[in-house]
Structure 1
Amino acid sequence: MKNTFAAALYAPWQSHELTSAYLAFFTVPFALMNIHFLFRYWSVANPTRVALFSQRRFIALITLYPVTEFIAWYILAYAIKVDPDSICLDDIKAALLDTHNDTIEEGWLAMDHWRNGELNVHVVWVVFFSMIIIFGSFFSALTLAALTYRHILAATTLSAKHRTLQFTLLVAVCAQTFVPLICVYIPYFMCLASPFLSLSGYGMIEHFSLLLSIFPGWDAIVIILLIRDYRIGLLKMLGLWREKTILIRNTQFTSCVISSVRVTQ
């Protein structure tokens, strides 16, 4: 359906609430990554503030960020629930039956951008606030990453080893951020914007569920590949790690010191 985005759970339990919660949960990892970026930034720019992450009040404060983002996305998703007698729902079920030879009866969320040549203003507002969340999270991460990189370069008190460690951790967080960006946020963006602009979605809409499902696994794989200690730990668990043995030959030398005493009469 070129001008309609729809989502539902293919599960034994189907409801608008469960579908909305399912979609909202995938926004939480990006919020957690932004908190991690803040930690990395403070560890370089202002190390004294790192102690805040061990204080209960601050933990409660930063917890509000992913919780608030989850609630906001849940509300936006629930706002596009489809009534059982909607004409849009009949079209969605027919399209699902035609492409997958199956049907889902309940829990549908849908954005019918254009109906009978008229723009759905309600959907436009949902798309607008969704874009604020998506781009707001992305640019927050981008800003913190750039500031952290600049402070690592400009820091004069960091040793070479500590500087390399900070670079490695920053690269790991950036790579870990690109995983939800590619598997979650970009597909979300395409699903929301493509029907509105009458675009095909470039394959991301058709593989939306696949991208969401592979996200948690790739998130862990990226960290294991980038952090050497994790790679070694995994290889040890699989029995593929061999400790390197270094042989040192010790050659002993015996020296003899002869002292002479000269007596002068």
Structure 2
Amino acid sequence: MAHCRRLHNSLFENFKAMSWLGIVTHNGIFAVALLFNSVALYLIVTRSRKEIGSYKYLLIAFLCTDTVFSLVHWLCRPVLSFRDGFFVSYGEGLVDAAFAMTLYGASGSLSFPLLACHFLYRALVVSMSKRPALQQLFRSKLLAAAIAALLVMDGATWIFFNYQLRLDPNDAAIRAKIVATHPELKNRTEMIAIVPFMDGKLNAKVARNALPLLAIATSSFVIIVLCAWRITNALYVRSSMSVALRNMHRRMFLALIVQMLVPSLTMFAPSVTAISLPFLPMASLDLPDWVIGLCYSLYPLLDPIVITLCIRDYRVGLLQLLRIRRTIKVLVAQSISSDHRASGHEQ
């Protein structure tokens, strides 16, 4: 009971500190993202044809991580600030501990290897178009287990290194540097800080823990580029498959390219910028505190829209759902109208 009361008080104080616009934006984006991801998951589970194969497991994994990321974002209400050549992130929501911010970063980082898996899957399927036995093996549920293992490994790696970047309360020099540009953080101890240079010297601890995170994102990008080249070469240059099969793979590849734009623009680019830019000695770019956070919050909202609209089965399924609801509204309106007419005749 006491725990519930503390949570209620925290929620009340949190909302009281926010403007009405902040409340509407923060909670509205979360609610819409949750709705869109739920609808997309429903469509993938119920509308996936056999030809989709194990690709649906990748889509389900993507949407599940979107949902988790959106939930953690809502709980933490993170502030991600880049000023005076260093990066600071902290939470202003119900949960503001440094470990919660670490989980926030880890849940967002899962989009990188998952996106690489999407391209790797498409490249392998195109390569195995004439090998039904291998294709059948690849479409088995072992893929789901492989995806789960990848997510666990990536998440654990990100949590380990990201948590090492939390601000040490006893490090007076770094704290003084942060407070000099962030006076509002004078009394805050729970935060993630990437301050790679102190007095012109490289901070070895920060480099040791931040660069592996950058390596994860970079390696995922390299895999995406190599797989995209392989797919393009197979479908547009040296294609020996049937016209119908080639056209199907081309549609899926183009849909994947469009799908890649959302995490690339809202997650990959801001994350790589936030991690790598502080290591550039001449970096003096100051970004408004809301820019990176807004990009992150839009990612789980836009991703299910792209997935639903780019794949025909789900697009048709969505239209059918909307038509059902429209039909129900029409039937209800007709029923109400007939009731009114009947009551008028009785009078």
Smaller-chain TM-score range?
0.7 to 0.9
Among 205, 208, 229, which residue is 1:146 paired with? 229
The answer for unaligned runs of 5 or more in structure 2 is 1-82, 327-347
SS in 1 for 2:91: coil
Among 19, 22, 39, which residue is 2:121 paired with? 39
Among 153, 178, 185, which residue is 1:92 paired with? 178
Kept in 2, the 8 Å contact 1:43–1:50? The answer is yes
- Deviations along 1:79-101, one digit per CA (max 9) or x if unpaired, are 11112233333553564455xxx
Kept in 2, the 8 Å contact 1:7–1:108? The answer is yes
- Deviations along 1:41-69, one digit per CA (max 9) or x if unpaired, are 22221143332345455543343223222
Mark the CA change 1:184 to 1:205 in structure 2 (over 3 Å): closer, same or farther. Answer: farther
Kept in 2, the 8 Å contact 1:41–1:147? The answer is yes
Residue 209 of structure 1: aligned partner: 293
What does residue range 85-164 of structure 1 map to in structure 2 within 5 Å? 85-87=170-172, 88-92=174-178, 95-96=181-182, 105-153=188-236, 154-159=238-243, 161-164=244-247
Among 303, 306, 326, which residue is 1:222 paired with? 306
Mark the CA change 1:59 to 1:120 in structure 2 (over 3 Å): closer, same or farther. Answer: same
Residue 172 of structure 1: aligned partner: 255
Offset of 1:39 from its aligned partner?
2.1
Residue 100 of structure 2: aligned partner: 18
What is the CA–CA distance in structure 2 between the aligned matches of 1:234 and 1:89, rounded to whole Å? 51
Residue 256 of structure 1: aligned partner: none
Residue 18 of structure 2: aligned partner: none
SS in 1 for 2:190: coil
What is the CA–CA distance in structure 1 between the aligned matches of 2:136 and 2:286, rounded to whole Å? 45
What is the CA–CA distance in structure 2 between the aligned matches of 1:200 and 1:236, rounded to whole Å? 52
Mark the CA change 1:83 to 1:234 in structure 2 (over 3 Å): closer, same or farther. Answer: same
What is the TM-score normalised by the length of structure 1? 0.77
Kept in 1, the 8 Å contact 2:101–2:191? The answer is yes
Kept in 2, the 8 Å contact 1:28–1:67? The answer is no
Offset of 1:164 from its aligned partner?
1.8
- Deviations along 1:129-173, one digit per CA (max 9) or x if unpaired, are 2221111000101111221221123232322x3222211111111
Kept in 1, the 8 Å contact 2:85–2:284? The answer is no
Larger radius of gyration: 1
Bigger mean CA deviation after superposition, 59-68 or 10-19: 59-68
What is the CA–CA distance in structure 2 between the aligned matches of 1:133 and 1:184, rounded to whole Å? 13
Among 113, 132, 137, which residue is 1:52 paired with? 137
Residue identity matched to 1:194 = L
Mark the CA change 1:208 to 1:104 in structure 2 (over 3 Å): closer, same or farther. Answer: farther
Among 143, 155, 164, which residue is 1:79 paired with? 164
| Percent of residue pairs identical | 24
Residue identity matched to 1:233 = G
Mark the CA change 1:8 to 1:85 in structure 2 (over 3 Å): closer, same or farther. Answer: same
Mark the CA change 1:42 to 1:65 in structure 2 (over 3 Å): closer, same or farther. Answer: same
Among 110, 126, 138, which residue is 1:28 paired with? 110
Offset of 1:7 from its aligned partner?
0.9
Residue identity matched to 1:174 = I
The answer for unaligned runs of 5 or more in structure 1 is 243-265
Residue identity matched to 1:51 = Q
Among 127, 145, 148, which residue is 1:63 paired with? 148
